[in-house]
Structure 1
Amino acid sequence: MIDFHTFFTRVQKATSISTQQDLAKALGVNRSAITQAKRRNSIPQKWILALSRSFQLSIDWLEFGVGKPDALLDPALLESTTTFAVPKVFARLCAGDGSFEVEATPIEEHIFKESWLAQKGTPSAMVLMDVIGDSMEPCICQGDTVLVDQAQTTLRADIIYAVGVDDSIMVKRVTAEHNKITLLSDNPAYSPISIQGDELLSFRVIGRVVWSARDY
Structure 2
Amino acid sequence: MASSHFESFLQRVFEASGIASQNELASVLNIHRAAVSQAKRKGVVPERWILKLSQKYGLSPEWLESGKGATFSRNGPDGEFFNIPKVTARLSAGGGSFETASTIERYFAFQRAWLAKKGDPRRMVLMDVSGNSMEPELKDGDMVLVDRSRTEVAAGVIYAVGVDEAIMVKRIEKQPNALVLHSDNPRYMPVCLEGGAAAGVRIIGRVIWACREYR
Give the TM-score taking structure 2 as reference length: 0.62
Q: How far apart in 2 are the matches of 1:91 and 1:202?
A: 20
Find the counterpart in structure 2 of residue 125 from structure 1: 123
1:112 to 75, 100, 110: 110
Find the counterpart in structure 1 of residue 160 from structure 2: 162
* Higher CA-based Rg: 2
Find the counterpart in structure 1 of residue 191 from structure 2: 193
Structure 2 unpaired stretches of 5+? 1-77
Secondary structure of the residue that 2:196 maps to in structure 1? helix
After superposition, the C-alpha distances for 1:165-197 in whole angstroms (9 at most, x for unaligned) are 011101000011110000000000000011112
Query: Runs ≥4 in structure 1, deviation > 2 angstroms?
Result: none
Q: How far apart in 1 are the matches of 2:210 and 2:139?
A: 10
Find the counterpart in structure 1 of residue 88 from structure 2: 90
Structure 1 unpaired stretches of 5+? 1-79
Q: How far apart in 1 are the matches of 2:83 and 2:191?
A: 34
Shift of 1:202: 2.4
Amino acid of the structure 2 residue aligned with 1:150: R
Find the counterpart in structure 1 of residue 202 from structure 2: 204
Q: How far apart in 1 are the matches of 2:128 and 2:108?
A: 13
Find the counterpart in structure 2 of residue 12 from structure 1: none
Q: How far apart in 2 are the matches of 1:176 and 1:93?
A: 21
Find the counterpart in structure 2 of residue 38 from structure 1: none
Aligned length: 137
Shift of 1:198: 2.1
Between stretches 154-163 and 195-204, larger displacement belongs to 195-204
Between stretches 198-207 and 177-186, larger displacement belongs to 198-207
2:100 to 99, 102, 105: 102
Give the TM-score taking structure 1 as reference length: 0.62
1:149 to 140, 147, 162: 147
Q: How far apart in 1 are the matches of 2:89 and 2:176?
A: 30
After superposition, the C-alpha distances for 1:133-176 in whole angstroms (9 at most, x for unaligned) are 00000000000000000000000011000000011101000011
Between stretches 194-203 and 173-182, larger displacement belongs to 194-203
Q: How far apart in 2 are the matches of 1:165 and 1:194?
A: 12
Amino acid of the structure 2 residue aligned with 1:111: A
- Identity among equivalent pairs (%): 50
1:213 to 190, 211, 214: 211
Matches within 5 A, 1:44-55: none
Secondary structure of the residue that 2:89 maps to in structure 1? coil
Q: How far apart in 1 are the matches of 2:88 and 2:115?
A: 21
Shift of 1:81: 5.9
